[in-house]
Amino acid sequence: MLTRKIEFLVGVFLLAGLAAFLVLVYKVANVEVQTSSDTYTLTAEFSNVGGLKVRSPVKVGGVVVGRVSGIALDPKKMEPVVTLTMDKRYNKFPETSSLSVLTSGLLGEQFLGLTPGFVDDDVATLKDGDRIYDTHSALVLEDLIGQFLYSAGSKDKK
């Protein structure tokens, strides 16, 4: 009877460990079970991606529609190329859509904002492997301050 009790307690121990693992995976890390079949891939060229990272969200009006899956430098043009993995549920974006690197809040993380463009009869929707050409780069604070100082300096001379 004693061994039965020990076995029971060991079972409880293992279950508690498993429960802790599941809590960490689903409640804390919020792992989404996502297969590759329900996503499609887009690429986009930027002149500067700023602090954008792999796994940064792609948002349309604040709704997450995909994630950045890769950032690489185009070896010929010397410009960063961002690969986006988009949710298949949102597959009706027109070709004329534009992407911009935005920041959430003053000090927050950077993300990609997708602005859907106009829809016309001869405008197709974005499909797997398409490239978005209309992009707006990240605001670099140092450049902004530099421009401001330059313009303020040239004003003084007049």
Partner 1 sequence: MRLTDSIADLGRDALGLVAGLGKAGLLLWGALVQIPRPRKGTPLLVKQIYVVGVQSMVIILVSGLFIGMVLALQGYTILVDFGTEQSLGPLVALSLLRELGPVVTALLFAGRAGSALTAELGLMKSTEQLSSLEMMAIDPLRQVIAPRFWAGFFSMPLLALMFTAVGIYGGYLVGVEWKGIDDGAFWSILQAAVEWRQDIVNCLIKSFVFSWVVTWIALYRGYQLVPNPEGISRATTQTVVQSSLAVLALDFLLTALMFGK
Token pair listed for 124: 């197709």
Minimum CB distance to partner 1, residue 33 (Å): 11
- Interacting residues toward partner 1 by CB under 8 A: 3, 6-7, 9-10, 12-14, 16-17, 19-21, 23-25, 27-31, 55
Minimum CB distance to partner 1, residue 5 (Å): 9
User: Which of 27/89 has CB closer to partner 1?
Assistant: 27
User: Which of 18/141 has CB closer to partner 1?
Assistant: 18
d(CA 100, CA 125): 19
User: Which of 30/151 has CB closer to partner 1?
Assistant: 30
**By the 8 A CB rule, do 112 and 58 touch?**
yes
On the CB side of 42, how many CA atoms lie within 13 Å of its CA? 30
User: Which of 20/145 has CB closer to partner 1?
Assistant: 20
Spell out where 57-107 has E strands.
Answer: 57-60, 63-74, 79-87, 98-103
